[in-house]
Structure 1
Amino acid sequence: MTDASHDVVAIGNAIVDVLAQAEDTFIADEGMNKGSMQLIFSAEDADALYAKMGPGHEISGGSAANTVAGIAALGGKCGFIGQVADDELGQIFAHDIRAVGIDYTTEARPGDPTTARCMIFVTPDGQRTMNTFLGASQYLPETALDRDLIAGGAILYLEGYLWDPEEPRRAMRTAIEVSRKAGRRVAFTLSDVFCIERHGDDFRKLLSDGLIDILFANENEILALCQTDDLDAAIDRAAKEVPLLVVTRSEKGALAVKDGERVTVAAEPVDKVVDTTGAGDLFAAGFLHGQAQGRSVKDSLRMGAICAAEVISHYGARPEVDLKKLMAEKVG
């Protein structure tokens, strides 16, 4: 196996996030499930909801893209593969991700649909309710894969959100083959309970076939994956299927299981939770960066907790402080 050219190469939705504050009553009146994510299937519905948003912040996002942006901020070398359209939002996304030092070579797709966008409503308690129009991102073809980039990544990171559309699902299966053939590790995040409800059998087969080396989940996701209401039972069951299981538990911290050994860390304290958008994405960034550096599971968990705490202290899913300096002060 040759030396890796990149620490992490991610494949995910290429999305521009639009964040705005909203009251709980607005969330209820619009029939949204607070704190979760729902898909918008038509451009017309997306435009109608966007028109109801208050003043917002626009920033390039997408779960896996946020993660590699965090890793890049920590000093890691990353690549990203994701589909945008040949439009203004697509240009914004490409500029933003390259500007933080991430290798991004996916060619823009001409014509409709437009570049994906996620409208995020942040309630006074900091919870974010996401409404995603996947647009061009759901048309990522196998031909768009940069196989040399994938083979050169020490860790291939895939997001469950992108498993929903058929075309990128085929592309990600091919990417797994390329990565494993190159002797690399494959990490997968379950992303959301709705992804498991739609594709749980697929996810469980990926695990049982030994295709995933690192699995990320939160409490609700691991329960849904293992089809139980018993958290400890779910963790034990999933840990038998994957070499390294990572479960985030919000204010209760996080845990990992490797070779039957469970390791836990407390949540990093924050003065005020402003916006939980990207908390899981940045946790994965800290953890994966630690793993790429050869650090222990304990240190990797702590790094994840530190990154998550930073991102929930402000609006948006990208770090606003010097993460390398912050990590040096807190972990060394």
Structure 2
Amino acid sequence: MADSPARVVIFGPASWNEIVLLDHLPEPVPHMQFAQDRWHAVGGTSAGKALHLTSPGLDVELHTLLASDGDGRRVADALRGAGVTVMAHEADRTERHLNLMTPAGERVSLYLATPSLASAEQQANLLTALRGSDHAVIDLTETGRSLIAQVRATPTPPTIWVDLHDYDGAAEFHEPFLRNADIVFMNGDATDDPESLIRSCVERGPKIAVCTLGAHGAIAVADDGVIVRTAAEPIDHIVDTNGAGDAFMAGFLAAHISGVPLAESLRAGGRQALAALQTKHLHPALAD
């Protein structure tokens, strides 16, 4: 009998976003600009990871806080239509962003609405789901911050994956995530020395730390101290950069689960990121 697929449970944001494309980001002075394009789309770092992990055929379940409103229904319907198993936990509001983008991929994200902390009952249900997984992806939210140490304290904990995003190596909010994770990801936006950053992360607990560097590829280190670097995958035209980091992490996770070496997992992440870069949506399946 074939082994059952690895069970991946993701907890974190799924949102309804408006994307506005500008020729340059606004200056901090009163002025007027004309948008080059605008559209609505599913957003949220956890939604992006779930979309890109669903395609390899893993057993993936997305837990997220959504209100019973129009935005929440649009998010849930779109994700389920793309094949994602969505477990929606009732929230007071659905997360909503306004993303100002440039053709070069620069972004300012304005958070228009975010859900409140999950209730005690919801946190208990989330804890059960995360503890019952083989791989728990816990994204940066106040609820995730409350839960991650409890997931780690499970007698046989899952492998815990965390995306630290633009971590600078010192932000206090990130500390519980960093210290309880097995594998962490971040981008290089807040550092001039990504090698030192990922080494400092591994010194505080994770077995692997990965930093994506955009057009310069990615760098990673495991607890053996060996630095691995890979080049960015070639691409002729970038449509939109939203969700590329989430796609990279998903591609890496799927490859790592299959047992390939660290360098090949990085390359798999780069290849998966291409799918996000070539669509206005988090994943091509949402464009159907």
- TM-score band by shorter chain is 0.7 to 0.9
Q: Supply the AA of the counterpart residue of 2:150.
A: T
TM-score relative to the length of structure 1: 0.74
SS at match of 2:197: helix
Contact 1:286 1:303 in 2 (8 A): yes
Q: How does 1:1-332 map to 2 (within 5 A)?
A: 6-24=6-24, 27-29=26-28, 56-109=38-91, 112=92, 114-136=93-115, 138-144=116-122, 145-160=125-140, 162=141, 165=142, 167-177=143-153, 180-193=154-167, 197=171, 199-203=173-177, 206-207=178-179, 211-221=180-190, 223=191, 230-241=193-204, 242-258=206-222, 259-319=224-284
* Separation of aligned partners in 2, 1:150 and 1:184: 8
Which structure 1 residue ranges, 5 or more long, are not aligned? Answer: 32-51, 224-228, 322-332
1:173–1:278 distance in 2 versus 1, CA, 3 Å: same
RMSD between superposed Cα atoms in Å: 2.8
Aligned match of 1:35: none
Count residues in correspondence.
277
Residue in structure 2 matched with residue 326 of structure 1 by the alignment? none
Q: Which letter does structure 1 place at the counterpart of 2:100?
A: F
**Deviation digits for residues 39-59 of structure 1, max 9, x if unmatched?**
xxxxxxxxxxxxx97863222
Contact 2:148 2:176 in 1 (8 A): no
Q: 1:6 to 1:84 in 2, by over 3 A?
A: farther
What is the identity, as a one-letter code, of the residue corresponding to 1:188?
A: V
Partners of 2:94 and 2:114 within 8 A in 1: yes
Cα 1:8/1:195, change in 2 over 3 Å: farther
2:133 is aligned with what amino acid? G
Matched-pair contact (CA < 8 Å) for 2:7–2:134 = yes
Query: By how many angstroms is 1:196 displaced?
Result: 5.7
- Quote the residue 1:226 is aligned against: none
- The aligned amino acid for 1:88 is G
- 1:70 aligns to what SS in structure 2? helix
> 2:110 corresponds to which letter in structure 1?
N
Q: Secondary structure of 1:132's match?
A: strand
Q: Which has the higher contact order (CA 8 A, sep 6+)?
A: 1
Q: CA deviation at 1:297?
A: 1.6
CA 92–189 in structure 1, closer or farther in 2 if over 3 Å, else same: same
Q: For 1:262 and 1:172, how far apart are their aligned partners in 2? A: 27
Partner of 1:106: helix, strand, or coil? strand
| TM-aligned CA distance change 1:248 to 1:96, over 3 Å | same
Query: 1:72, 1:102 within 8 Å by CA — same for their partners in 2?
Result: yes
Deviation at 1:99, TM superposition (A): 2.6
Shift of 1:30: 6.8
Residues 53 and 290 from structure 1, CA distance in 2 versus in 1: closer, same or farther, beyond 3 angstroms? same
Q: Distance in 2 between matches of 1:235 and 1:68?
A: 25
Q: Is the 8 A contact 1:16 1:61 kept in 2?
A: yes
Runs of 5+ unmatched residues, structure 2: none
Report how far residue 6 of structure 1 moved. 4.6
Instruction: Tell me if structure 2 keeps the 8 A contact 1:271–1:313.
Output: no
Which string of whole-angstrom CA distances, capped at 9 and with x for unpartnered residues, describes residues 72-100 of structure 1? 02222211111111101111122222233
The 1:271–1:263 alpha-carbon spacing in structure 2 relative to 1, beyond 3 Å, is: same
C-alpha offsets along residues 145-195 of structure 1, whole Å, 9 cap, x if unaligned?
A: 3444323322111222x1xx3x45324443444xx4333100111123489
